[in-house]
Amino acid sequence: MIQKSILLFFILFSFHSNAQTLKTVTKLETTHQKCLDTGIGMRNCSLKYLNQSDSLLNVAYKNLRLKLSSEEKAELKKEQLIWLKKRDQYFKKAYSDTKKKGYFEEGSLDFEMVVFDLQADYVFDRVKELIKKI
């Protein structure tokens, strides 16, 4: 719980510029890869990465909204709702594609790790889009 609080503080604090925020994304990606490279608790590394992507998405969305007019906020909300539908479709596809490939047994820790990574990467792409608009 303390780690999440520290991470959220770091993320909020780092939103003072787009470049700094993109560096935060890169740092999270690097930290995630280092965690995977240990070969220990890789599913947990990926779940943490997915949670971080979701937290950063919320922060990026809120920070972008602060800079927009009422009309622009309405347009952003509409855009985000469309993206959320696409995200849900992508998450289902990531799961079924991973299952079809058959590299890992469905429900195994490795299977979940792969799915979480695919989901997180998709969310981080959206985070980067939002950051560029700030």
Global confidence as pTM = 0.85
Q: Which residue has the higher pLDDT, 34 or 12?
A: 34
DSSP H helical ranges for 1-134 = 2-13, 18-37, 42-66, 70-101, 109-133
34-79 pLDDT per residue, tens: 999 999 999 999 999 999 999 999 999 999 999 999 999 999 999 9
- C-alpha to C-alpha distance for 35 and 27, rounded to whole angstroms: 12
- C-alpha to C-alpha distance for 76 and 65, rounded to whole angstroms: 8
Identify the pLDDT of residue 15: 47
Where do the structural domains in the chain lie, given as residue ranges?
Answer: 2-133
